[in-house]
A = this chain, B = another copy of it.
Amino acid sequence: MHQNSHSVVIIGYGGMGSYHAKLIKDNERVKVVGTYDIDSVRAEASTQDGYRAYPSLEAVLEDKTVESIVIATPNDSHKEIAVRAFASGKNVICEKPVTMNVSEFEEMTAAAEQAGKVLMVHQNRRWDEDFLIIKQMYDQKSIGDLFRIESRVHGANGIPGDWRHMEVHGGGMLLDWGVHLLDQALFMIDSKITSVSSRLSFILGDEVDDGFEATIQFENGISYLIEVGTTNFITLPRWYVKGTEGTGIIEDWSMTGRTVTRNREVEHVEPKPIQAGVGLTKTMAPPSEEATITGVLPEPFRQPSSFYDNFADVLDGKAEPIVKNDQVLRVLNLIEAIFEGGRTGETIRDFDQY
């Protein structure tokens, strides 16, 4: 198979579209042969970046030399573009959230199946090193069995001032960042969700959520908190995880972090009470220096290939997609449960498509 054998056209050449172009530039088997954007300024940018700017979506879809498209447009337009692309015999890589809801996605996958074409959703944060370190801790039990996982992303900039703060375009933090963090959770934990409780935040006065928290309870006993905030001028750690032998933390994307575990070599000594505020506490006294071991974070889990290598392998019939459509569907279904729980304030059960 020769190099750059797989041609793609990027639909929507904004922030994410041009980021895809950069990603694909590093890949030897996939090549960007053009873009299409409704905004003439972005079409001009594409030409300057060396990518042919198609005059219309029709022109892309009618071009028989184009094997696949990347959809990087606002969320409410994904489905229609994808369905038309499949009908024209194209494969589709679609930005996340793939659709606004489950039923749109079912329409999309049905169209892909009917056309016998590939649909892969760009859940790229399955490749984030911070996540892959936690996945390794989970898989290898390096601090014992994890029973509590807290995954937070905090910013202080509010919602970006584009379509991302409009409901009709599928804006809001649950669909934007939530879909990543939920996808990571379900990719890591192979167990059915028994319940989810959630709270959406509308502090900034936007029509969409400016943050949310969701506590997912899995059948295997794991409690998994996901929290996204855009009004956090001080950030809490990106990851905080508790295992039966200790605790792990990753502060941020710089991978600063550590583990602290029980020292099994030392006999348990009941801690001495400490003064805490105006009271005494034995329970909350820090363990003695010898009672714990501070360790470094493990090496991250390694995905078998990059997103675009995997895409090329799938087109070549050499691999299954790492991001599977039934997994994407399950995440969308969970998002609907989180929206419902946020609206009603109730714990949602018996919904998981595991």
Contact = CB atoms under 8 A, between A and B. Distances in A.
Contact of A125 (B161, B237, B278): B278
Interface in A236-288: 236-237, 240, 242, 244, 246-249, 253, 258, 260-262, 270-271, 273, 275-287
Given A161-B270, A247-B232, A156 B277 contact: no
A277 B127 contact: yes
A83 B282 CA distance: 30
Interface in A124-143: 124-125, 127-131
Contact of A345 (B173, B195, B229, B258): B195
Contacts of A51: none
A15 interface: yes
Interface in A197-232: 197, 199, 201, 203, 215, 217, 223, 229-232
Given A234-B260, A347-B347, A157 B282 contact: yes
Q: Is the interface of A mostly helix, strand, loop or mixed?
A: mixed
Contacts of A281: 155
A185 interface: no
A354 interface: no
5 contacts: A128-B276, A157-B270, A197-B197, A197-B347, A346-B346
Q: For the complex of A and B, list the 10 residue pairs with the smallest distance between their C-beta atoms, beginning with the closest.
A: A128-B277, A233-B247, A233-B260, A155-B284, A234-B247, A127-B278, A253-B276, A233-B246, A234-B249, A157-B271
